[in-house]
Structure 1
Amino acid sequence: MLKIYVDGASAGNPGPAGAGIFVNKGKGKNEHYAIPLGQMTNHEAEFVALMEALKICKENSWNMVSICTDSKLVDEAVEKRYTKKAAYKPYLTEILKQLEECELCFVKWIPSSSNRSADQLSKKAIQKNKSSNTFL
């Protein structure tokens, strides 16, 4: 089973945002993704980071994955299949749809200290936004 770490971040709230995705394929083989997201809030970036990870899973036919996030908001929304805030509902709807397409996929919360690789990638993605001056 693949282990994937995701993180979203923004410089400002809202501000330039990025998603960091670290894929541990085992035996020292890893993949790194730093995806600029344009302008959004930190919480939106957390949801989109998970969506991007699930998209990568589908593109690579990875059907058995464990996805770790340091966002309690995202973890609880996925677990309960519900979010109060209307702004997050479209993200959650898409995430739940993508999860249904995976054979075996878990999303679980981990502390930030265990998610440093994805955190660094999300910050790198923010810089990509800033350097291009292009916001999606």
Structure 2
Amino acid sequence: MIKLYTDAASKGNPGPTGLGVLVINNHHQYQVTGTLARADNHHGEFAAARLGFQYLLDHFGAQQTVLFYTDSRVLSDTIGKNYTKRYQTELTALNQLINQFTMVITRWIPDRQNHGAHHLANQALRAIE
């Protein structure tokens, strides 16, 4: 079972956005960052999740059970309901990745439990400022 934590940090809303991904597998941590030139925080959260799931596919394959943790209520609710009015394009792109895995369990966590991904998102943001 792989644990995936993602987060986004934006300067301005919209503005430059850093993406942070923390993967934990067999007691090993893998850190991934990315950036978007301009996004609001919600679009950043979807982009961070896509980055994380793409990383898992590229490095671990699809035959995995993934515990996906996010501090974004919008993202976790959208995935849980498989419905959104405002982020349908982002949900469709994310589902194309999620649906390749054996099982994905999405859990919302408070900010204080997502420090690793949060730190990586801010680190990526500082690199583009």
TM class, shorter-chain normalised? over 0.9
Unmatched tracts of structure 1, length 5 or more: 131-136
Q: Take 2:33 and 2:98, find their aligned partners in 1: how far apart are those partners?
A: 22
Question: 4+ runs of 1 displaced by more than 6 Å?
Answer: none
TM-score normalized with structure 2 length: 0.93
Identity %: 30
Which residue of the partner structure matches residue 25 of structure 2?
25
Question: How far is the alpha carbon of 1:108 from its aligned partner?
Answer: 1.2
Matches within 5 A, 1:88-127: 88-127=87-126
SS at match of 1:9: strand
Whether the 8 Å contact between 1:37 and 1:129 is mirrored in structure 2 is no
Which residue of the partner structure matches residue 34 of structure 2?
35
Matches within 5 A, 1:61-76: 61-62=61-62, 63-76=64-77
Which residue of the partner structure matches residue 46 of structure 1?
45
Unmatched tracts of structure 2, length 5 or more: none
- How well do the aligned residues superpose, as a CA RMSD in angstroms? 1.1
Q: Take 1:37 and 1:128, find their aligned partners in 2: how far apart are those partners?
A: 11
What is the aligned length? 127
Quick check: 43-52 or 59-68, which moved more?
A: 59-68
- Is it true that 1:15 corresponds to 2:15 in the alignment? yes
Which residue of the partner structure matches residue 78 of structure 2?
77
Q: Take 2:105 and 2:97, find their aligned partners in 1: how far apart are those partners?
A: 12
Deviations 1:65-93 (A, max 9, x none): 111000000000011111121xx211101
Which residue of the partner structure matches residue 128 of structure 2?
129
TM-score normalized with structure 1 length: 0.89
Q: Take 2:108 and 2:126, find their aligned partners in 1: how far apart are those partners?
A: 26
